[in-house]
C-alpha cells in the first residue's frame, strides 16, 4: 500500500503546484504577446505591483519631497486602476498643486530653463524651449562648448550636433509658421536630458552615429517622438523614460506610452522602470514558466500512471495466485 499512497501523494502535489504554474505561465505569455504595445505591457505589469498600500506610500513620499507633480501622477494612475486615494492625500495634493504654489515654483524654473536650458518639469522645459525658439538657447549651448574647447576641456560633440540641428529646425519653424514645432520641442528635450544625465550612453552613441551618418529621416522621427511624448506626458516623464531608451524604436515606445497614459506616465515609469517599455524580463519569466509547466505536466502524467498501477497491482497478484498449477 505504501506505493499507492506515495503515488497519490505525488499526484496531489503536482496538481497543487499547477494552481500556481498555470496562472503564472498565462501571465508571462500575455506579457510577451503585448511586447509591441507599451501601454498594454504597462497595464499587465502593474497588476499585483501597484497595490493600494504601494500607491499610498508613493504619494506620501512624493508629498514629503514637495513633489506635487509626481504625487498627482500617482493619483491619476491610482484612479485609472480603481484604487481609492484618501481624502487627506487628495487635499494635500490639491494644496501642493494650487495655482499660487505652482506659479511660485514655476516662475523661477522657467527663468532657469530659459537662461541655462536645464529643467525637468513643465516650467523648466517651457523656458528651455522658449530660449531655443529665439535661437538664444542653441547659440548659448554652442558658446558653452566653444569655451570648453578654448580652455582645452572636453567638448560634448553630441551637444554641438544637437545645437546645430536646433538652429536649422528653428529656422524651419519660422519659415513654416510653426509646423515642425514638435521637432523643436524634441530637440529641447534631448538637450535637457543630456545636461541632466537622463540620456543613456548607448542611446547617445546611437544618436550621434545617426546625426553624423546623415540619417536625417531616422533622427527626425526620433526627435518628433520625444517631442510628442513631452507634450503628452510632461518633461519629467520623458526624461524618466529616456533613461531606459536605447534607440529610435525605444523612443517610439515611449511616445506610445505617453500618448496612451498621459499624466500617468511619470508614475508608471517610476514604478516599473525599464519594464514600462520593454518585455525582456518577461521573456525570461516565460521561458522559466514554460519549463515549469512542462515539468509539472510530466509529473502529473507519471504520478497518475503510478497511482493506476498501484491500484491494479493487488488485482494482478490475486489473479496470479488463483491461476491453476500445471499438471
- Same structural domain, 306 and 188: no
Query: Which residues constitute the domain of residue 270?
Result: 38-278
Residue 58 lies inside a defined structural domain of this protein: yes
312 and 205 within one domain: no
Average pLDDT, the chain: 78
Regarding whether 288 and 141 lie in a shared domain, the answer is no
Q: What is the number of residues in the chain?
A: 327
pLDDT of residue 194: 82
Whether 56 and 157 map to the same domain: the answer is: yes
Residues of the chain with pLDDT under 50: 179, 327
The reported pLDDT for the residue numbered 253 is 93
Separation of alpha carbons 74 and 140, rounded Å: 36
Return the DSSP state at 121.
Answer: S
Same domain, 215 and 68: yes
pLDDT (tens digit per residue) in 184-219: 778 878 887 887 777 888 898 888 888 888 788 888
Same structural domain for residues 80 and 125?
yes
Output the pLDDT for position 48: 78
Would you state the pLDDT for residue 76?
A: 94
Into how many domains does the chain fold?
2
The whole-number pLDDT of residue 123 equals 64
Q: What is the pLDDT of residue 73?
A: 94
Q: What is the spatial distance between Cα 197 and Cα 287, in angstroms, rounded to a whole number?
A: 34
Amino acid at each position: 500500500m505504501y506505493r499507492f499512497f506515495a503515488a497519490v501523494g505525488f499526484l496531489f502535489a503536482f496538481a497543487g503546484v499547477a494552481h500556481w504554474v498555470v496562472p503564472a505561465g498565462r501571465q508571462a505569455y500575455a506579457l510577451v504577446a503585448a511586447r509591441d504595445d507599451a501601454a498594454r505591457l504597462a497595464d499587465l505589469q502593474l497588476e499585483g505591483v501597484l497595490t493600494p498600500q504601494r500607491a499610498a506610500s508613493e504619494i506620501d513620499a512624493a508629498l514629503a519631497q514637495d513633489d506635487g507633480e509626481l504625487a498627482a501622477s500617482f493619483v491619476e494612475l491610482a484612479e485609472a486602476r480603481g484604487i481609492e486615494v484618501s481624502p487627506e492625500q487628495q487635499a494635500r495634493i490639491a494644496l501642493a498643486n494650487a495655482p499660487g504654489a505652482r506659479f511660485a515654483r514655476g516662475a523661477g524654473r522657467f527663468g532657469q530653463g530659459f537662461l541655462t536650458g536645464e529643467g525637468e518639469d513643465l516650467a523648466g522645459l517651457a523656458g528651455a524651449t522658449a530660449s531655443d525658439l529665439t535661437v538664444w538657447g542653441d547659440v548659448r549651448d554652442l558658446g558653452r562648448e566653444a569655451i570648453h574647447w578654448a580652455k582645452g576641456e572636453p567638448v560634448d560633440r553630441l551637444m554641438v550636433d544637437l545645437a546645430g540641428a536646433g538652429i536649422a529646425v528653428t529656422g524651419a519653424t519660422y519659415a513654416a509658421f510653426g509646423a515642425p514645432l514638435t521637432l523643436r520641442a524634441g530637440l529641447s528635450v534631448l538637450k535637457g536630458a543630456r545636461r541632466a544625465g537622463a540620456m543613456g550612453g548607448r542611446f547617445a552613441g546611437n544618436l550621434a552615429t545617426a546625426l553624423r551618418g546623415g540619417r536625417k529621416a531616422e533622427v527626425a522621427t526620433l526627435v518628433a517622438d520625444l517631442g510628442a511624448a513631452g507634450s503628452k506626458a510632461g518633461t519629467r516623464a520623458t526624461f524618466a523614460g529616456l533613461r531606459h531608451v536605447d534607440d529610435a524604436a525605444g523612443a517610439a515606445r515611449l511616445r506610445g506610452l505617453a500618448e496612451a497614459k498621459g499624466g500617468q506616465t511619470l508614475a508608471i515609469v517610476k514604478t516599473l522602470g525599464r519594464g514600462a517599455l520593454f518585455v525582456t524580463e518577461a521573456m525570461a519569466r516565460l521561458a522559466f514558466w514554460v519549463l515549469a509547466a512542462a515539468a509539472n505536466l510530466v509529473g502529473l502524467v507519471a504520478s497518475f500512471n503510478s497511482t493506476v498501477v498501484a491500484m491494479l497491482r493487488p488485482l494482478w497478484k490475486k489473479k496470479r495466485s488463483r491461476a491453476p498449477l500445471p499438471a
